[in-house]
Structure 1
Amino acid sequence: MNLENNLAFARALDEADELKHFRDQFLFPKHNEKEFIYLCGNSLGLQPKVVSEVISGQLNRWANHAVEGWFDGSQPWMLYHKELKTLMAPIVGALPEEVCPMNTLTVNLHLLMVSFYRPQGKRFKIIMEGGAFPSDQYAIESQVKFHGFDPKDAIIEVFPREGEHVLRTEDIVAKIKENGHEIALVLFGGINYYTGQWYDMETITKAGHDIGATVGWDLAHAAGNVPVKLHDWNVDFACWCSYKYQNSGPGGISAIFVHKKHFGNTELHRFAGWWGYQESNRFKMEKGFVPEAGADGWQVSCTQVMPMALYHASLQIFKEAGFIAPLRSKSIALTSYLEFIINEVNKSVGEEQFKIITPKGSDDRGAQLSIIAKAHGKQIFDGLMENHILGDWREPDVIRLSPVSLYNSFEDIYLTGVTLLDVTTNVLKSK
């Protein structure tokens, strides 16, 4: 398709969009009664309108049933997480028994590393992407220290080549092979938070397994954004938050994946709690931890009902939309149009004022484009905010813009381009 930089073209794309009606199911932030064009779903997804009703319903259950809410009614809290499992599984390409909603992301990362980071002899190192989100860096640093290692010795980071912004898959695989006899765990983010690069998860997972390592993924920026196939790709474990592309609210509940091939492994260490105990015998209150089958056996604390209710509300929208496939098709189109519009702005300015550092190919990126302004980036970002375009700023010099299929339109993208050009022109004139 030949893309066009005009409002009529954008509106025509919106008219043909089979998912356009989902936009009406979300609430947009406002300032002075004017809605923002929201391009920050990579950080916090918008609130589904149904959330108020859902939370009200759970508050009513609490008020009317109190403790018996765990067992009474059509959705007893005791089994509530199981409803989410069937809705989560298609989003990450898993079997329902391989996933479980629980805790928050970094807590889950630690719990999973207890089981799957098992340093032995010379095989004690963890390999990860350089410039990973700080929480992952801190978690990994503390885990290797817990096992008595110096992070300088035990952590291998893979950085882009000099002058490049993103990693090459061949470089990741080569580094895994080079250090294969020392690597215990391969642990990457599915999509890098800063550049928006979607790593070749299948290839990296295979490379890790080929040298005898365990492979895990942090899917904070991938789950609900791009199609992943955790079960088919033979991934050992993964975890993700749900408040970005899955719209579960600030600090929303996290979730885990554990491949079923590990379910029968009684040698796996884990930090146990009552809620992970075998469900059929849980209330016997006996000593000696016996894990519930599947990913549920990694639970520690009881079901977080309110956060799960928020997540459940959004997952129902995903189900109505057909889960990931139709959303991904629109996402590719939205992000391609945003790329086109940014390049049109550069043409109008007369130079590459904005450099897109996110990979160009749709197989290598999700909904996010990260751009670096040649000059005055923070001032331009602030100007976008003042004109009701809400993306986000990442130090030292990146503006992240993320059109989300459930609630963004092609008109949003066009108007972002108009505003970006106007703001940039004014900033440059003032210098």
Structure 2
Amino acid sequence: MRFILPMLAIAASLASPAAAQLTAPEQAIVETVESGFESDVALLEEITLINSGTHNHAGVKAVADVLVPEFEALGFAVEWIDQSAAGRAGHLFARHEGAPGTTKMLLIGHLDTVFEPESPFTGFLCEGDRAVGPGVVDDKGGIVVILSALRAMKAAGTLDGANIVVALTGDEEDAGEPLEAARRDLVEAGEWADVALGFEGLSVLDGKDAGVIARRSSGSWTLTTNAKSGHSSGIFSEHAGYGAIYEMARILDTFRRELPEENLTYNVGLVAGGTPAELGEDGLSATTSGKTNIIPSSAVARGDLRALTQEQNERTAETMRAIVADHLPGTEAEITIEFRYPPMAPTDGNRALLDKLNVINADLGREPMAPYPPSRRGAADISFVAPYTHGLAGMGPAGSGSHAEGEAIDLRSIVRQAQRTAILMSRLAKEASDK
């Protein structure tokens, strides 16, 4: 047996020659992440048990307070950026100064979740390599991946030369107002950075890890129609017109027929019509009344708009406005369109980053990550910096059920994502900055 065991070890090493491409520091990264797995899960449990719904400002700040010493222990200068003027708690930024002239890296995650204090979904339940809890994937697991990767870089000696800003926003799930103020610090970090990595959940395509080089925008629109009211017996006549609801139906059905194109969606989430119909102050409700023998005087609808590029956003908006302007007789209509989260378009720079990550996958003996279809991903904070820097999203852990009771994480995915991230950042830190 003393002879057989070494031979088995040699055979195993020959069976995965790709792993031999790792440098000694990179091999140390792999081992450090693996050895820190239980500590990472413990940290995940600690911050998951703190409710940090976006509007629970004290909870968001409490999560930040747990993380501050974690970053300071790695040599980061930590800053809490108060956002009370925008109606939100604030953002946690951590900065590490490395070698001058080398790649500047921005890591993006968020402290808040969709689960407010009144949510019945609480706790942290670990079942083998799976854990369930509010925000456990989105995005507390992503924060743990960031810290696990940075600790491994520190242990391997590759963190010292790295220029890094970690931006953990406190309102990703419901951004503060005005949006320009709520995202000012993130945008400034994006203008500084050569590369941005977003640590929301890992995408899986046909059972395999995938890379996210693009995410669609998230905007909204509000449509109102108005018409002369009167006795229903006059509907469609020259003197009475078509009424507000038929005008609304015309517009929405024309959207359905004329707008479709790849990577574009435009959901209708709310419709109300009658005499009168009024949108609630929250924009999420409406009140109306009416009779079958009265031509309705008003109607209102709200929906969203998601596109892959800003050009697609603007072109679609112009088409929508033209459709709205083509009124039925006796009616009027108006649409307002708000672009909030911009798109993260699939650029050559983003593709090049995924190529570099796939070299690492090969060196680790793992399968390559195909680009994930952008139509399957929602908007995220990384989109705000997409115009200024190359980016990869989906660098957080794998899981299921985000934004719903029963949200779960694949705990072992923390390991492979942290290993990929730390090696990618270590290699990028040796390259020259473009800025």
TM-score normalised by structure 1 residue count:
0.25
Question: Which structure dedicates a bigger proportion of its chain to helix?
Answer: 1
Look at both structures and tell me which one has the larger radius of gyration over its CA atoms: 2
Report the TM-score when normalising by structure 2. 0.25
